[in-house]
Amino acid sequence: MRRHELTDQAWAVIEPLLAPSRMGRPVRDRRQVLNGILWKLSTGAAWRDLPERYGPWKTVYERFRRWSADGTWDRLLAHVQQHSDAIGAVDWSIVCVDSTTVRAHQHAAGARKGGSGPGEAIGRSRGGLTTKIHLACDGQGRPLAFTITAGNVNDCTQFEPVLARIQRCGPGRPRTRPVQVAADKGYSSLKIRSYLRRRGIRAVIPERIDQINGRVRRGESLCRLDRAAYRRRNVVERCFNKLKHNKALATRYDKRARHYQALVTIACLRLWLP
């Protein structure tokens, strides 16, 4: 078994959700296909360069494309998160939110129907054509939810959509609210603080200097910042570091946003598997 392939323990967790169809021709070994997809994720190479041990490259690609379209990757991630939450392995004491920018390769541009527009999550920023991953992780640095946008989209606009995707699927009532949320100054806004206050979540977000000066001029008290909790925010940076070990994520080569989003979902899934 090679380092990027599934272990027996990891395969046992997700195998029930990849049950083969009862009708039609016999399908290729699902674990072999999934290992081929993981090889693509890890190396960032072209599908045509897939090693022969994973079968025909077109078969692996078509399975990846089909599972991306029918939501299989999302179901796998939700299942693994549910399994971890059921055994109390999810740290709900704090959720950390941040974003990272990914450079889009020249091959990622040019998709049909406005491929380089907002619909394909590619935008022009200081670094050229880029895509941005907005991520929320638990207190142990494991990804809970994410969105992808064009690289020129402001971070604070995706704060609520990312948190809205978080849902506890373990025993008892579904939990969607962590105890507190930590983020950097880019998320310091009245709208975000009001949103967290309505949901009963404590904000661990420092104010920008212009906001501090404005409060001082108006004679208002400054927002209190739990510095001990804020120091835990670096777990989201470490999570991005682990995700970008996959070369297919560190640089975007996919023209379609749904394919790149599927690769991000698979990378998040790997961080939850044993």
pLDDT value at 37 more than 50: yes
Percent of the chain with pLDDT over 90: 68
Write the DSSP string, 204-246. E-PPPHHHHHHHHHHTPPPPP--HHHHGGGHHHHHHHHHHTTS
Per-residue pLDDT tens over the stretch 133-147: 999 999 999 999 999
Nearest to 178 by CA among 190, 155, 191, 162: 162
* Amino acid in the structure at residue 175: R
Please report, for the chain, the start and end positions of each structural domain, with discontinuous segments joined by +: 91-255
User: Which pLDDT band, with edges at 50, 70 and 90, does 11 fall under?
Assistant: very high
Report if pTM > 0.85.
Answer: yes
Residue 202 has a pLDDT of 94
- Tell me which range, 56-70, 171-185, 207-221, is most confidently predicted by mean pLDDT: 56-70
pLDDT value at 82 more than 50: yes
| Cα separation values, 161 from 43, 98, 195, 215, 221, Å | 30, 13, 12, 28, 30
Taking the CA of residue 46 as centre, how many other CA atoms within 13 Å lie in the half-sphere pointing to its CB? 5
Strand extents, DSSP E, 121-220: 123-125, 128-137, 143-150, 180-182, 202-204
Residue 186 has a pLDDT of 92
Residue 25 has a pLDDT of 53
Report the relative pairing of strands 251-252 and 143-150 from DSSP bridges.
unpaired
Residue 125 has a pLDDT of 81
Report the Cα 62 to chain-centroid distance in Å: 23
**Who has greater pLDDT, 257 or 223?**
257
pLDDT value at 223 more than 90: no
pLDDT value at 91 more than 50: yes
**Who has greater pLDDT, 22 or 8?**
8
CB 102 within 8 A of CB 251: yes
Per-residue pLDDT tens over the stretch 189-212: 999 999 999 999 999 999 988 888
pLDDT value at 227 more than 50: yes
| Residues ≥6 apart with Cβ < 8 Å to 234 | none
Of the candidate CATH numbers 2.60.120, 1.10.3470, 3.30.420, 3.40.50, the domain formed by 91-255 belongs to 3.30.420
Report the relative pairing of strands 143-150 and 128-137 from DSSP bridges.
antiparallel
